Structure 1
Amino acid sequence: MRYLILGTTEARDDHGAPLPLGGPRIRALLAALAVRSARSAPAPVDVLIDEVWAADPPHDAPAALQALVGRLRRAIGRDAVISSPGGYRLATAAPQDDVDLLLFERLTNEGIRALDADDPGTAAATLRKALALWRGPALADLPDRETAAARPEALRLTALHRRIDADLALDRPTDVIPELRELVADHPLDETFHAQLIRALRAAGHSADALAAYEDVRRTLADRLGTGPGAELKELHRQLLTTDAGPAGREPHAARGGAYTAEAGASRADGHGGSGGTEADSGVRGVFDGRDGYAARGGRGTGAGAGSRADGREAGSHTVGMGGVGMGSRTARSGSRTAVPPLPHGNLRARLTSFVGRQKEIGDILRDLDGARLVTLTGPGGSGKTRLSEEAAATVTDGYPDGVWIAELAPLDQPSAVPGAVLSAVGRRETTLLATGLESRATGADGGDPASRLVEYCADRRLLLLLDNCEHVIDAAARLTETLLAHCPGVTVLATSREPLGVPGETIRPVEPLPPAPAHQLFAERAATVRPGFDPAADPDTAAA
């Protein structure tokens, strides 16, 4: 039996013939079961009720679900759905072959590994096979599909990016130019597609068209986002203007560093050296083999929500999967490939004053970050949470190849502004209308919804977000954090707040006032900057205090 959920839900028998399923509720139930088919544990009854009926469950939902399971069994076979205490699951011996979504994930990983191993022919063929599995929107029959489909849709774009990389590495620029023109029209804010089009045009000898394509994307980004092209596009433009030596379309995947699978013995994507570990496959199992909700929380698959590492730091190789996407080292490999200047590594502010004490606290925070994906520093205003969080974040920058980014929430007046502020903090400005008469699109990957755009941007990146001063927008900050942790396995969040965020798996680290000795030292140092030569012991008022 095969189950198809990359489009309208279908079940097909051993001969490939579709089985009649019936109405939308049965299809939604089958999709919800198929998406979790790689789990050994059953899908809980309450979770299935939420998936099938969303916000409108029937009066006796458990009984209605039981009846629906009976109808599904009559359609696909009584033994196809297994009842267990507390839930149900599909009887699939090889879910990564039987469920098209999991098969897509496996093939995508194989294709990316082939590309990173300098076998673009195998990569292109494998990624084409993976992309051919899509018949329509993922999980189309789930009533609330947008959240569940965010990760597979993002991985589909990744597979498409890398398949085009493989074609360009095979020196097939003219074959992909028509497709890329359609893709940049459909995804006008996707800079990767624009860069690939420019590379293809240049490799095909159409330098003037490549310059025109750069001008198109520059104007689009300026009109829609009020910003300019990123580092890769700027470097391509510079090359077009200064030299024609060497085709820009050869092996562009190396220029972007797309090492989703780190080679044995090379620097790993998370910045911790490794040499072919034993847990490489654990990152491939992906979001939908399910350890906790739709999004597995990382390469190790521990299922502890925000409390599990997404990167699998001890693993020696890092694979892209729906539960463990890693961008790898963002530097060009050695050789003749075109190198792109590294993107900004974060926006942490330079410290202008000394940092006194707190060494034990920093060590505690670093240990927390090693074991959890959400760490919240709590304490009253003025206790030093912000500075402590910045100092701790500054010590772990090497562990996050896509940067350490601080989003300052204190200036926000409205909770609804939180996603946009975080989006701006990571350098992906929220769409703004500049009195041009243009209307921003409210949803979609290229529209104006900052939360969706943030998820799309972070989905295959490994970065640390520092959310500072969450207390006055605590609910919005918590919702965004939970969304990012669920759908972006490489994201870790360090938050500061007067109260916990209340997100599952959150590690809370209270920040106490400085002890007397370092507090006195801090006072003396700060006073000396205002009054040079100040000696607290010689000042009567200070000594008395």
Structure 2
Amino acid sequence: MAKAAWRFRLLGRFSVCADGEPVRIRSRLHQTLLATLLAHPDQVVPADDLVDAIWHRRPKNASNSLHVLVKRLRAALGDPDRVRAEPGGYRIVVAEDELDLLEFTTLLAKAREAGDPAAERALLAEALGLWSDEPVPLPLSEADRRELEELRLTALSRAIALDLEAGRAAEAIPELRRLTQRHPLRESFWAQLMRALHQIGAQAEALAVYAEARAVLAEELGVEPGAELRDLHAAALSGDSSGEWAPVCQLPSRAEDFVGREDVLERLEQLLEPAEAARVVVVWGQPGVGKSTLAVEAAHRLRERYPDGQWFAALYDRHAGRTSAHELLEQLLLASGVPAGQIPAQTGARAAALRARLADRRVLLVLDDVAESAQIAPALPGTGRCAVLVTSRRSLLDLPNARRVRVDPLRGDGGIDLLTRMIGGARIAAERAHAEELVRLCGALPLALRIAGARLSLRPEAPLAALAQRLRDERTRLDELAVEGMEVRASLSLTYRGLSPVAQTALRRTALLPRTGFPAWALGAVTDGGDGDRLVEALTASALLEPRGGDRYRTHDLVALYARDLAAEEDSRPALRRLLDVLLSRGEEVYREAARWTEELQPYQPPGTTPVRLDLPPLECPAGWASAERDLLLAAIDQACSVGWHADAARLADLVIPALHLGGGFDQLAAARQRIAEAARAAGDELVAWRADYGRAEASLAEDVAESERTFVACAEAFDRLGATTELVYSLTGVAFCRMMRNEPDLETAERAVRIAETGEDRIAYCTASRTLAQTLQQHDRVREAMWVLKKTTQEALKLDVPSLTAGLFREMARTALLLGDTEAAASACAEAAPLLSGNPHDEGWLLQLRSRVETAQGRFAEAAATARRSHEIFTDLGDRRAAASSLIWLADALWHGGERTEAAALARQARDALAAMGSTILAPQAEHILNRVGRSA
């Protein structure tokens, strides 16, 4: 078997991959341990240093706790030799191509020895490219984080120095401005920034940088700048000069209700810093996101940096239409002072005249609502230190030498702040919850919020709740978001009309896909049957799709409503058919993998049909694919039900829900089954309806045992009437299981399920029923008989190649052995179950829970508590509240035996109450036993 290819990342972002697939390190403690070892590759890290890095408060037995943590980390990595114990500490073994930090230091060493500036700069660029563009807090001690950051900054400073030596000062200035703000006490960056400004002739800016650096150093350290900064200051003073120009400011007034966007404004100020070459920045985003307001605010803040003028031109008017390049050039020449009678007649001549007028001037041009690059390309300055700030609904990828900044809806409290400025803080404070709902219903889109604020300001006495109520109805929300001069739908329509016909179709078809996000191939499937890459590019370039990371995209909520309205005018069933066929074919792959660890009913196959299998490349990890496409699968099930294809929806659900069950979210799965049941009943298909109800009861077990029991009972009666034998076995087994969970063991129902299953062909159903019978026998104190049933059933299960089923039987054997007082047999059964987990987190959680009980019986109370906590974490992550609460019972038991009785009592009480609320009382006696023991010992 080939050895896994590992990749550890530590430079700005912590991650672990094996063979290109992420390895999930769930626990913060494990992450900190691994990251600390990786920060010192192939070095022995003292145990005390590891303990101090991992725990804020040292545990009572730090050495033992660290040992346990290392052991679990090895298990999580699946590589026992990766972390090695050494005298006094631990060492991680890692190759250079496995760890980005080792690659980084190697590249730095090569750069120092390069001898050639170009080669050294290339090596430094390669080294710095290993760092994440968007660093996140690392699970490291402050000292280790500082050491890594120092390595990066030293390399970055050297790279900038080489750029300045090569005459690339203009390129270095934006980065240096960011660095001086983030590291204001590092004099070397201030010096490099002054040197860069001096090189491009921006002496005034260099003097301003010196003043800022001096103020920072004086305030923070109480010192004057060093010799290098003082020398650069003297050089700037001797070279300062300025030209003459009659400035014209055409900027509209700033919006009084402008809020937020400080990060974007800072970015624009950096990109629009005056330089030798003209700067062009495109601010783009979806309709109504506030691009024009943002551009005007940025332009006002930049006025002093462009003393030769600030010009403004709107390139779209709702009445006059689009402004041509010819017309724009005329406007700009007039702004430059050219008399109307002297403006050339030809477009080319106008462009040449404008470039001549702008040569070596510092003018800021704001060109608002540009539809395409051709509108403004002739007006771009050719030389000088001008800047052009463009707003557009598109990214204008064909605009040469432009930098782009996408504007998103308001974040944080930005929406609330905007409403506050429009209608006053008193109304917001009086109905804060409804104000937040208004922001959500408006998608935090400034245009929508301004419309809402305008409507509220017209009626000062009207409650916010009334408008929120009107906006809740998605069918009419876009109609409500309109007021004189402002309309969300009209703004969206303008962008839609500018799309190509196939892109228009793609936008309409997004109505078939989940708003939470979808992959490009899904958009292709519902549009033209292609891979969707060009479609998402077209819609993303028009800001109608939002990238969600990886190959995933989503539509803004208001764009989604607009697309749905458009889609309502056409028949989308052929598009949905293409998508369903792909999902059903993929579902077959998912189920083939899931069949190894699922104990569900066999997938429904409509009579007279054959399974859908398209010629698609095989999935590398079908279960992982199903998890990634969870929302898409559930949305497709819902869409299929909407158009009357309940049989397809039922089969797709049966194929993929066993895999989706591993990820929790049981309420979603229950809702999907409910939707199928409703659609099937409307079509008169009782079998599919009751199968869907059975699936809903399965999903509801994690939340409400009593409700699941009622549904299982109804299913059993229906399947008995319909003659559906296998479905009847599963339903009776579900009834018996629920009654066992409620501490009301029903031996008659459990035995009936086994009797019916014995005569059927579904041996998985027989084994599942037999396991539930054994559990029921345990509750009737017929423990030895239960063990006999389990041993017999296990022999049958071993022939079926369903690891989850076999593991479950071994767990029951372990549980039964504990009841018989045979701890050794219980531990052996747990060991038999462990290799059969097959990546099923539910199975892992249940086995850990049982192992905790075994460890408590063996007197290993600390290990038992740790094992139970891990089980509880797994079930909590999955959203299985019933299983998580039962893990707390056994954690409390381990803690009580270990002497931590106050915490034990609190957890036992919490678990008992939670289980009671879900209708599961099987462990209530165990909880009461713990509480009684604590009470007696008090």
TM-score by length of 1: 0.39
TM-score by length of 2: 0.23
Greater Cα radius of gyration, structure 1 or 2: 2
Larger fraction in helix: 2
